[in-house]
Amino acid sequence: MATFSKKIMMYTGIILVLLALPLIGMQFSNAIDWKAGDFAMAAVLLVLATLVIEITNRIIPNKTLRRFLIAVGILVIVLIWLELAVGVFNSPIAGS
């Protein structure tokens, strides 16, 4: 059980550091203008990416298939992030 707690702490720390980057950047540049909703969505996507990695690592025994599924999962999450940020696919959820 201790390993599980250490992993959660590690993942939480990584997510918080990644979320702190735009927050710090906003202090030095007007080009970065995130609202609370932007931080919330980024947190959801980062947690989702973490879950994809962790669940795939636990369920899939084949190393090659596991790496492929993680790569596909992360690619899907990145495409969602891009669509929300700049509207790559011009869907109704598109950002700017």
Mean pLDDT computed over 47-52: 94
Is the pLDDT reported for residue 71 higher than 80? yes
**Higher pLDDT, residue 43 or 84:** 43
Is the pLDDT reported for residue 90 higher than 90? no
pTM, 2 dp:
0.84
Question: How far is Cα 80 from Cα 45, in angstroms, rounded to an integer?
Answer: 9
Please, is 49 exposed, middle or buried when counting C-beta atoms within 10 Å of its C-beta (0-12, 13-18, 19+)?
Answer: buried
